[in-house]
Structure 1
Amino acid sequence: MPRPPCGPAPERPSPTEPLWLSLRSLTGTWSVAPATSVFVCENPTVLEAAADEPGPRCTALICTDGMSSNAALDLVSGLAAATAEIAVRADVDEAGFVVVDQLLSAAPGATTWRCDAKTYLGHLRMTATADQPSGLDALRGLYAAHHIPLHEEALLTSLLDDLSRLHR
């Protein structure tokens, strides 16, 4: 997480306590190590759970807390420009698709994270066929056909496993 250029980062009770960043705190020059893995989620439940476990072993995680603010989009865009490897996700529903689209627009080289047809079909207890398209467009089509949302909380165990396993 970048530090504000005008002084030290705000005090936190512990190193794993989530840090809220404003657009103002992101002004100035900052950087990250090249190829740093950064995951982006929509729901603060994911962020709060990750702060507990995997805690310090958690891959960098940004939470948009719903629709992406300008601060979130600037942060993701800046990280992408600094060559971070960004993976994004949100709930599979109408609003979630808007969030993912905003994030992918801010970081065109980003990938999606468990925001795909295979994950969605698994939630519906259906199996993807070998020729099943798996990208975001396929997911949109499946959601349009089934109209069953998939909220991040339903994937929490898998998301936390990813954040722990993929720590770099």
Structure 2
Amino acid sequence: MEAADKVRTQLDNSTASLPSHVRSLVGPETLFERLRGLGWITRLLNAQEPEDLLSQALQVAARLPRPGQRIDRRLLVPGNPHALDEGALPALVLALTGLSSSTPRSSWARLGVDFDDLLGGLIVTGVNPRGWRIPAGSTVTIPPRELATITWELPPVPGEWVFVTENPSVLAAAARQYAMFERGAVTPRVICTAGTPSQLECEAIARLADAGWRIAVRADFDQAGLAHVRALLAAAPEAVPWRMSAADYLEAAPEGTSILRLQRPDAPWDPRLVPTMLKHSVPAFEEDLLPQLLGDIATGAPGSSGTP
């Protein structure tokens, strides 16, 4: 308890000197309890140099820009541009500001910090940003810098589908399939988030609807995958889940030893999905449905396995 009291005292003494715009984020009157609720007090007490780690995090917080201003993440720790790349320090800074539950890129963006606008982004084939000329079947990565203001080319026929997937293997297989049967084949129109989509990426995908595209979204059948689909559907209400029903999960023939931890609201688009997943208690992955997904992409419309 004495060690925890030292952390509380350090927080009280340090937050009082933070700039006002940072204090409004940190909320010193509830900061200790918030960190304890997130498990950070225990993590600090188990750290090799807890006072130094907390001091560093508070110094980074003190350099956060005022509302309306921005700063490159690599400039927040003078002399060490990679200090916030990974590890306990960036996670603690986000916990101090109450943003630890968001994805890192989105959290830093909300704080006025440019996480990295050149790396990452969306991998696309068959659907182009307006004004870009990309050969049919070619694959490009659109970095966050371009996604921030992206507008999309109109579909050749209004209402054509774009398929959004989590895993690069789906896009790669669709591109290979098109290369093998290019003559007369439907151009694959696929966007890959390569993992958890940021808010910026979700918003860029949502703009497809503004250009007249229909959007089908999917991910793995696990906790993260369901969260990905929820985020995409929240950003693009016009989008539809693509082979993400209970029947599709069963079609993937899930088996394994991993244990799923899900809540029933995790898949509001199909109330049967989470109970079915919990019954089998294992994840299923996009690759398990690859033939069906490639068939949909080749025909240009999303399908479903029907009622379980």
TM-score band, normalised by the shorter chain?
0.7 to 0.9
- RMSD across aligned positions (CA): 2.4
2:237 equivalent among 94, 108, 112: 108
Supply the distance in 2 between the matched residues of 1:29 and 1:115 (Cα, whole angstroms). Answer: 27
Matched residue SS, 1:39: strand
Please, what TM-score do these two structures have when normalized by structure 1?
0.79
Moved more, 40-49 or 15-24: 15-24
Larger radius of gyration: 2
The match for 1:23 is: 144
The match for 2:274 is: 140
2:206 equivalent among 58, 77, 82: 77
Amino acid at match of 2:178: P
Deviations 1:79-119 (A, max 9, x none): 12223111111000001001100110111121111111111
Displacement of 1:149 after TM fit?
0.9
Supply the distance in 2 between the matched residues of 1:71 and 1:53 (Cα, whole angstroms). Answer: 30
The residue correspondences of 1:1-168 to structure 2 (distance < 5 A) are 1-3=127-129, 8=132, 15-26=136-147, 27=149, 29-33=151-155, 34-55=158-179, 57-124=186-253, 135-166=269-300
Structure 1 runs of 4+ aligned residues shifted over 3 Å read 28-31
Moved more, 14-23 or 40-49: 14-23
Paired residues in the alignment total 154
Distance 1:124 1:153, change over 3 A: closer
Q: Do 1:21 and 1:71's aligned partners in 2 also have CA atoms closer than 8 Å?
A: no
Amino acid at match of 1:147: S
Amino acid at match of 1:162: D
What percent identity do the matched residue pairs reach? 37
Distance 1:157 1:67, change over 3 A: same
Deviations 1:19-57 (A, max 9, x none): 101122232544423313111010000011111103453
Moved more, 143-152 or 69-78: 69-78
Q: Which runs of 5+ in 1 are unaligned?
A: 126-134
Distance 1:43 1:29, change over 3 A: closer
Q: Do 1:47 and 1:62's aligned partners in 2 also have CA atoms closer than 8 Å?
A: yes
Q: Do 1:50 and 1:58's aligned partners in 2 also have CA atoms closer than 8 Å?
A: no
Distance 1:73 1:28, change over 3 A: closer
Matched residue SS, 1:161: helix
Q: Which runs of 5+ in 2 are unaligned?
A: 1-126, 255-268, 302-308
Supply the distance in 2 between the matched residues of 1:80 and 1:51 (Cα, whole angstroms). Answer: 23
Amino acid at match of 2:171: L
Please, what TM-score do these two structures have when normalized by structure 2?
0.45
